[in-house]
Amino acid sequence: VQRTWSNLSESVVKEFILLGFPEVQHLLKLLFLLFFLTYTLTLTGNLSIICIIKTLNTPMYFFLSHLATLEMFYISVTVPKSLHNSISGDQSISFAACLTQLYFFGSLGSTECFLLAIMAYDRYLAVCKPLHYHTVMTPRFCNSLVGCCWSSGFLSTLSSILFISALHFCGPNEIQHFFCDISPLLKLSCTDVHQTETLIFLLASVILVGSCIVTLLSYFRILSTVLAIASSAGRGRTSSTFASHLTVVTIYYSTMIFVYVRPTTGNASSFNKILSVLYTILTPLLNPFIYSLRNKEVQGALIWSALWRLPKF
């Protein structure tokens, strides 16, 4: 028995290997450049947006500042490690670091779902219930909503991580992904993952599908209200704005739901990795720009900020 336990302890995986994109090994330098440029642009763009909209004290811009902050954290969970692996050639990640990355990735992703739903509800009240907007969306209520988004996001993922941490991994240790994601990680477990898969499926269904329904219903109510009262010119501008919003929201939710809302998460594929690039790298870059830079008040603040920095004669 002692010998059996000794062999088992020696076979326990203490680190994983992130394989990244072996299918396009000849394009790794190009991928590194794209990832680096996207990461740099995401950080500088979101930080600039936070600084610009600090002067715009309304609930919408308050939520936008939190979205921009979240997107900087969200992309920083996965991309820097992937860039480091590409430079150093060391693709290993410890078991604890893998679970930590997975926890923050899941928590920030859940927080973003809640925040997008709250932002859509905020716009619904502003457009469809304008007389009640300022009595409902008070600073205290907005702070409470944002606090609930962040706390719910981080608490909802904790149970999944605890279940995964209790699993045994005894080899192989190669993760078919560029970061520690649920599906490729569970695929490596040498114990039964049925309960863990069921829990993750239920949580993902409630968080992703629930917030997606709230977001889409709010946008469709807004669009129907505006189209009913706006002029033809106003309809064109509104349709263009909401088309861009819906495009980003659809990309984010459709890819996330396809990857995570499944009866089983044990099957990882190259297609999943391509989809993950959309919601881990592309949406953090696009979201704040789509929500902010198409807004006239933000454009005005941006122009004023640029003029203020011009040299004085």
Distant-in-sequence, close-in-space partners of 214: CB < 8 Å, separation ≥ 6 = 117, 120, 121
Nearest CA to 149 out of 131, 124, 122 is that of: 122
Q: Which CATH number fits domain 17-294: 3.40.309.10, 1.10.630.10, 3.40.50.1860, 1.20.1070.10?
A: 1.20.1070.10
Look at residue 239 in the predicted model and tell me its pLDDT.
56
Of residues 280 and 266, which shows the higher confidence score?
280
Residue with the bigger pLDDT between 277 and 155: it is 155
Pairing of strands 174-175, 92-94: unpaired
Please tell me the predicted confidence (pLDDT) of residue 294: 55
pLDDT tens figures, 230-259 = 555 555 555 555 666 677 788 888 888 888
Average pLDDT over residues 215-234: 76
- Among 100-109, 157-166, 286-295, top mean pLDDT goes to 100-109
pLDDT at 149: 95
* Rounded mean pLDDT, 266-277: 72
* pLDDT tier for residue 118 given thresholds of 50, 70 and 90: very high
In this predicted structure, the answer to whether residue 32 has a pLDDT above a threshold of 50 is yes
pLDDT at 277 over 70: yes
* Domain chopping of the chain, boundaries: 17-294
Q: In this structure, what are the phi and psi dihedrals at residue 19, rounded to the nearest 5 degrees? A: -75, -20
Q: Considering the chain, what percentage of its residues have pLDDT values greater than 90?
A: 29
